[in-house]
């Protein structure tokens, strides 16, 4: 999940008097797409040479890879910032071991954690168990509008 666009939309709505709390929900199960995913996407494409995929280099493939091998960070991890940095460090170390040319510093890690601390604070009211919410809403025959990833 990429937060900058979502926050712009929320800010735009609220600046026009539309309250978003309780109306916009962010799934606690959504995976976080980090800047390093984009870098890894490009490195993977170069590694493939003439067999390249033709990726958009937005990091979707590497993010999904983390999801599949079950080491990706999710929105729910924003509720546990005490362990967030260590989990992100593990992902960055994995990427550094896997891809020549991928490097990161403790400063980079610190900056990413600080950025996501701000996201956690801003998005806290919107984060919920959307599976439970959807099941309850369906049982109550409520109308639901769902938006997935847009690129």
Greatest distance between any 2 Cα atoms in the chain: 53
Report whether 36 contacts 151 (CB < 8 A).
Answer: no
The confidence score (pLDDT) of residue 55 equals: 75
Q: Which residues are CB-contacts of 25 (< 8 A; sequence separation ≥ 6)?
A: 126, 127, 128, 130, 133
- The count of C-alpha atoms lying within 13 angstroms of the C-alpha of 12, restricted to the half-sphere facing its C-beta, is 6
Where are the domains positioned within the chain?
3-9+18-139
The confidence score (pLDDT) of residue 109 equals: 96
Report whether 78 contacts 127 (CB < 8 A).
Answer: yes
Class of domain 3-9+18-139: mainly alpha
pLDDT surpasses 80 at 49: no
**Mean predicted confidence (pLDDT) in 126-131:** 96
pLDDT surpasses 90 at 115: yes
130 is an annotated ligand-binding site residue: no
Enumerate the active-site residues. Answer: 67
The confidence score (pLDDT) of residue 45 equals: 84
pTM: 0.86
**By C-alpha distance, which of 111, 117, 79 is closest to 92?**
111
């Amino acid at each position: 999940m990429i937060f900058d666009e979502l926050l712009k939309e929320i800010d735009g709505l609220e600046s026009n008097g539309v309250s978003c709390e309780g109306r916009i929900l962010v799934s606690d199960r959504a995976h976080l797409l980090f800047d390093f995913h984009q870098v890894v996407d490009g490195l993977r494409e170069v590694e493939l040479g003439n067999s390249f995929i033709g990726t958009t280099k937005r990091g979707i493939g590497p993010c999904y890879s983390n999801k599949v091998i079950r080491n990706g960070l999710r929105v729910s991890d924003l509720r546990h910032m005490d362990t967030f940095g260590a989990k992100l460090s593990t992902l960055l170390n994995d990427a550094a071991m896997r891809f020549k040319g991928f490097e990161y510093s403790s400063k980079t890690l610190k900056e990413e954690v600080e950025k996501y601390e701000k996201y956690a604070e801003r998005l806290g009211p919107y984060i919920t168990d959307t599976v439970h919410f959807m099941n309850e809403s369906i049982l109550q025959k409520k109308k639901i509008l769902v938006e997935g990833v847009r690129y």
